[in-house]
Chain A
Amino acid sequence: VMAARFLLRRAVPALRHARCYADAPAAQMSFTFASPTQVFFKEASVKQIDVPTLTGAFGILPAHVPTLQVLRPGIVTVFGDDGSSTKYFVSSGSVTVNADSSVQLLAEEAVPLDSLDLATAKANLEKAQSELVGVSDEAARAEVLISVEANEAIVKALE
């Protein structure tokens, strides 16, 4: 009897798993990724997207829970259906995941990662950090901090 109860208990979780995924088809993700001047993906079907947001970096798969997030400077990685991945650097923007599994990634500025130059980024970072020391006005200070953060993210992304 004890053995039978054990078996029953072990079997139930397995059954629960099977019931969960049995009839839920993986929703296709309709992915739109654009900047004001350039469109990278328009209602494309991709496997996964990694985005850097103010609350942390997270990956979006089809049937992700709907959410709205604001981007921070960092890398967006797009994993296509064929397994290839492309990286882009975004400055800021927003990402929307809707209930029908459509994702809109709108970046204020976005460039493919290989079009960024590490040496120039390092030079910009040093310039921004030296400016940070001398600035006093609140608004200018905020601008310089943003510049430092963006350049740090670029350097980190390229290394």
Chain B
Amino acid sequence: MFARTVFCLFVFRFSPVTIRLKSIKNIQKITKSMKMVAAAKYSRAERSLKPARVYGTGAMALYEKAEIKAPEDKNKHLIIGVSSDRGLCGAIHSSVAKAMKNEIAKLLGAGKEVMIVNVGDKLRGLLYRTHGQHILINCKEVGRKPPTFTDASIIATELLDSGYEFDQGSILFNRFRSVISYKTDEKPLFSLDTVANSENMGIYDDIDADVLRNYQEFALVNIIYFGMKESTTSEQSARMTAMDSASKNASEMIDKLTLTFNRTRQAVITKELIEIISGAAAL
């Protein structure tokens, strides 16, 4: 008789409710730890973002102060999308991909030629099916470690070596605003010809073609570096938020399931007792 009670409770212990409860508790542990890892990475990224921002705005100062604008009739465009390889960070990748798709549609509608550079495997996954023929370069292994200037220079070297002579371009990345918010932003890239022929460049003294080319290549790396730094910080803060809400949702489910579990447990025990009592009464 007791054996049967024990058997019932044994079966009960592996009922769907208990299995589900155990798995959700494990998931909650994982999301909690992911949140803490993301928080640590976020604070490190935010600290290194401060000098990178000064550096990046300094690099773009020339284009803003000289008011360099690309001429409207140029055809070859380049879009660099900056994201990363890893998911579970909210709308980070999809917002950049959406902005890139809009930009491509607009440019193709105006009859321009567009090529894109994907920094981050997730972007490749989102774009290769519909815009595969526009992809120039894909970058992997982005996001595991904090981006360095060397990474940006590798990307820029690949771009310059690819042979695609773009007339103008833009870099799309998630600009970090605060722990809970980021915004998909766009910064312009100018080609050597655009800068050299821009009207305000005449006031800059003593520039020969070689110096300007070196300067432009360095500026390209700087802008890519700036985009990558902002993107990482946004991504880590978004992952922190996403994992936090996942842990909260898991807690809610655990509470509900625990109530169900207790109710079921009490029901089983009650049933056992009733059977025992009614059996004893029958004897």
Residues of chain A having any CB pair with chain B under 8 Å: 32, 34-39, 42, 54-55, 65-70, 92-94, 96, 98-100, 102, 104, 106, 108
Given the interface pairs A66-B204, A68-B204, the reply to whether A98 lies near B62 with Cβ below 8 Å is yes
A104 to B219, CA, bound (A): 12
Q: Does B215 sit at the interface, judged by CB under 8 A? A: yes
A102 to B211, CA, bound (A): 20
- The answer to whether A70 touches B62 (Cβ under 8 A) is no
- The answer to whether A70 touches B211 (Cβ under 8 A) is yes
Known: A32-B54, A35-B51, A106-B218; 16 extra A-B contacts, CB below 8 A, are A32-B58, A34-B51, A35-B55, A36-B52, A36-B149, A38-B51, A39-B55, A54-B211, A66-B205, A69-B211, A70-B218, A92-B218, A94-B214, A98-B66, A104-B58, A106-B55
Residues of chain B within 8 A (CB-CB) of A106 are 55, 58-59, 218, 222
Which of A42, A96, A98, A99 meets B54, CB within 8 Å? A42
Q: Does B207 sit at the interface, judged by CB under 8 A? A: yes
Q: Mark B204-247, 1 if CB is under 8 A from A, else 0.
A: 11110001101100110010010000000000000000000000
The chain A residue with its CB closest to the CB of B195 is A68
Residues of chain A within 8 A (CB-CB) of B211 are 54-55, 68-70
Residues of chain A within 8 A (CB-CB) of B204 are 66-68
Which B140-164 residues have a C-beta within 8 angstroms of A? 148-149
Residues of chain B within 8 A (CB-CB) of A36 are 51-52, 55, 148-149, 222, 225
The chain A residue with its CB closest to the CB of B64 is A98
- The answer to whether B54 touches A39 (Cβ under 8 A) is yes
A54 to B215, CA, bound (A): 11
Residues of chain B within 8 A (CB-CB) of A66 are 203-205
Q: Mark B38-68, 1 if CB is under 8 A from A, else 0.
A: 0000000000101110110011011001100
